[in-house]
Amino acid sequence: MINVLIVEDEPSIANLIQMSLNENYLTKIANDGEEALKEIKQATFDLILLDIMIPKINGFELMEYLKDEMIPVIFITAMSDTQNIVKGLKLGADDYLTKPFNISELLARIESVLRRYNKINNVLTYKDIVIYKDSHIVKKNNKTISLTKKEYDLLLLLFQNKNVALYRDTIYERIWGDNFMGETRTVDLHIQRLRKKLNLEKEIQTVYKIGYRFEVENEI
Amino acid sequence: MINVLIVEDEPSIANLIQMSLNENYLTKIANDGEEALKEIKQATFDLILLDIMIPKINGFELMEYLKDEMIPVIFITAMSDTQNIVKGLKLGADDYLTKPFNISELLARIESVLRRYNKINNVLTYKDIVIYKDSHIVKKNNKTISLTKKEYDLLLLLFQNKNVALYRDTIYERIWGDNFMGETRTVDLHIQRLRKKLNLEKEIQTVYKIGYRFEVENEI
DNA sequence: AAAATGTATCATAAGTGTATCATATTTAAG
DNA sequence: CTTAAATATGATACACTTATGATACATTTT
């Protein structure tokens, strides 16, 4: 899931933003700069929505810190405050919003920034299995499962093609790069290993004489 | 954390300043010029608050020394002493305060100078390891660890990409600049050296056939 | 000369694929 | 409609290959 930290001292605005984001993101609110700093040190956020005018540590100071953390920032400032906009962007913010803003604009900006940072679809999920793409980590029931590179690639391919019957040739080509697979049983073997490691005996179905399909309920 | 050295012979003023700064900075008091010199040689300070009129080695003499150390200085002098103000600024001080001054003014000046020097949060941390970016110093358990340039760069890259699996190629490109790494084992070797020097055997994980990942708990 | 960096070598570990046999599915003959 | 042959896939073991760690040493830089 994508984590968004909302740094905003005005509760009504903070809540409004939070409600708007809750459907698609995990959110956390920080009421001032100090709280924000604490949150950032504790957890990793994928994006920070930062009001500039906040108590204790102001938004700009916070951004100085965030530069090193490599966390994308969208900052929020008053409409006419051109100076602050320039300053914010120079400090490394990725985008900005001027108050008052509407929700759809906010959502659009967020999507755009996340896409720029490759954060979208960084995480793939099925039931209790989670793939963290940039970490190359797979967890099942919150426990890391050690997969080899080929296994990982294969799992990713399956997750990205839910309910699609994949030909052995296709799989081989996509993962082994080679565009022709002779009589090897390599693909089968790796499928077996995956099924075993992740308890996907039911989900990874064999399509006789064709290949395999990662079958997922309620998703066709 | 940001280290501030307070050089002031009058205990009441020194303590007042210290108390005002304690919330946001790490502070140390030196009662005269000699003590100050000793402190500066022992530890790295991000800023020095320097009273001009101090015993043993006076403030101006100290500043001559500090010029080479590249440590920002705010000096403190009597209200009307225009001559000294000019002299101090010429000697390379970054700002000055005239006695008596109020605390909020002091804080503002400090912030401003630190910002000018990019000192605000040029510090990256993981557990007991601290990277001071602009001084290129790494400390573990408050003891300076001597790292070579490549090692330092590599550590920084890892710290800036927590939990991300970094391809050897990427690492090589980002640190050696070359955009193609042949069959060298350079990256591996430096990783090993880092692991050893900083006891990061667990944290710096090898991602088989990919590269390495700096894995940090509670953060995915 | 000393420090930093990179290459070479060997040892070990991890990943991958082949071979083999067992079981399941399809096909086609009776 | 049965059933045997043909073929496909699952399971297991193991051999082979490749990647990485460790160490020593050569080269380059300071």
User: Could you say which of 1.10.132.10, 3.40.190.10, 3.30.479.30, 1.10.10.10 is the CATH number of the domain covering B123-214?
Assistant: 1.10.10.10
Q: What pLDDT shows up at residue A218?
A: 63
Q: Under a CB-based contact definition with an 8 Å cutoff, are residues B67 and B92 in contact?
A: yes
Q: Which of B125, B165, B219 sits opposite A134 (nearest CB)?
A: B165
Q: Under a CB-based contact definition with an 8 Å cutoff, are residues B79 and B99 in contact?
A: yes
One digit per residue, the tens of pLDDT, for chain A of length 220 reads 788 999 999 999 999 999 999 888 889 999 998 888 888 876 778 899 999 999 888 888 888 777 767 789 999 988 777 777 877 877 778 888 888 888 888 998 898 888 888 777 788 889 999 999 989 999 999 899 999 999 999 999 999 999 999 999 999 999 998 776 777 899 999 999 999 999 999 999 999 999 999 998 764 4
Q: What pLDDT shows up at residue B115?
A: 67
What average pLDDT score do residues B79-94 get? 79
Q: What pLDDT shows up at residue A220?
A: 40
Residues of B whose CB is below 8 A from A67: 121
Q: Which of A42, A70, A136 sits opposite B213 (nearest CB)?
A: A136
Looking at per-residue confidence, does A112 or B118 come out higher?
Answer: A112
Q: How far is B215 from chain A (nearest CA, A)?
A: 9
Tell how strand A165-167 and strand A211-214 pair up: antiparallel
Nucleotides of C under 7 A from a protein CB: 3-9, 14-20, 25-26
- Token code pair at residue A6: 């909302």
Q: How far is A83 from chain B (nearest CA, A)?
A: 17
CATH 1.10.10.10, chain B: domain bounds: 123-214
Q: Under a CB-based contact definition with an 8 Å cutoff, are residues A26 and A1 in contact?
A: yes
User: Coil, strand, or helix at residue A126?
Assistant: strand
Residues of B whose CB is below 8 A from A41: 125
Is B218's Cβ below 8 Å from some Cβ in A? yes
Q: What pLDDT shows up at residue A1?
A: 73
CA-nearest of B53, B47, B110, B107 to B77 is: B53
Is B108's Cβ below 8 Å from some Cβ in A? no
What average pLDDT score do residues B47-68 get? 87
CA-nearest of A113, A142, A138 to A123 is: A138
Taken in order B186, A67, B219, A197, the sign of the CA dihedral is negative
Half-sphere exposure for B82 (CA within 13 Å, toward CB): 0
> Phi-psi category of A141—alpha, beta or left, where left has phi over 0 and alpha has psi -120 to 50?
left
Q: From start to end of A8-55, where are the E strands?
A: 26-30, 47-51
Cβ neighbours of residue B142 under 8 Å, at least 6 residues apart? B128
- Return d(Cα A47, Cα A66) in angstroms, integer: 11
Q: How far is B62 from chain A (nearest CA, A)?
A: 30
- A-B contacts (CB, under 8 Å): 51
Q: How far is B142 from chain A (nearest CA, A)?
A: 19
pLDDT at B83 over 70: yes
DSSP chain B: --EEEEE-S-HHHHHHHHHHHTTTSEEEEESSHHHHHHHHHHS--SEEEEESS-SSS-HHHHHHHHHHHT--EEEEEETT-HHHHHHHHHTT-SEEEEES--HHHHHHHHHHHHHHTT-TT-EEEETTEEEETTTTEEEETTEEE---HHHHHHHHHHHTTTT-EEEHHHHHHHHH--S---S--HHHHHHHHHHHHHT-TTTEEEETTTEEEE--TT--
CATH 3.40.50.2300, chain A: domain bounds: 3-116
**CA→C1' distance for B196 and C10 (Å):** 21
**Taking all atoms of strand C, which protein residues have CB closer than 7 Å?**
A 146, 148-151, 176, 184-186, 189-190, 208-209; B 146, 148-151, 176, 184-186, 189-190, 208-209
User: What does R_g of chain A's alpha carbons equal in angstroms?
Assistant: 22
Q: What pLDDT shows up at residue B217?
A: 73
Instruction: Note the pLDDT tens digit of each residue in B11-56.
Output: 988 988 888 887 678 889 999 999 998 888 877 788 999 999 898 8
A3-116 sits in which CATH class?
A: alpha beta
In this complex, the nucleotide whose C1' atom is nearest to the CA atom of residue A209 is D8
Portion of chain B with pLDDT greater than 70, in percent: 92
Q: What pLDDT shows up at residue B102?
A: 75
Is B220's Cβ below 8 Å from some Cβ in A? yes
Q: What pLDDT shows up at residue B121?
A: 56
**CA→C1' distance for A70 and C15 (Å):** 34
Looking at per-residue confidence, does A195 or B127 come out higher?
Answer: A195
- Return d(Cα A74, Cα A113) in angstroms, integer: 8
A169 C-beta less than 7 Å away from strand D: no
- Contact between B218 and A43 using a beta-carbon 8 Å cutoff: yes
- Token code pair at residue A154: 């294969």
- Contact between A135 and B219 using a beta-carbon 8 Å cutoff: no
Q: What pLDDT shows up at residue A68?
A: 66
B135 C-beta less than 7 Å away from strand D: no
Nucleotides of D under 7 A from a protein CB: 8-13, 19-24
Is B22's Cβ below 8 Å from some Cβ in A? no
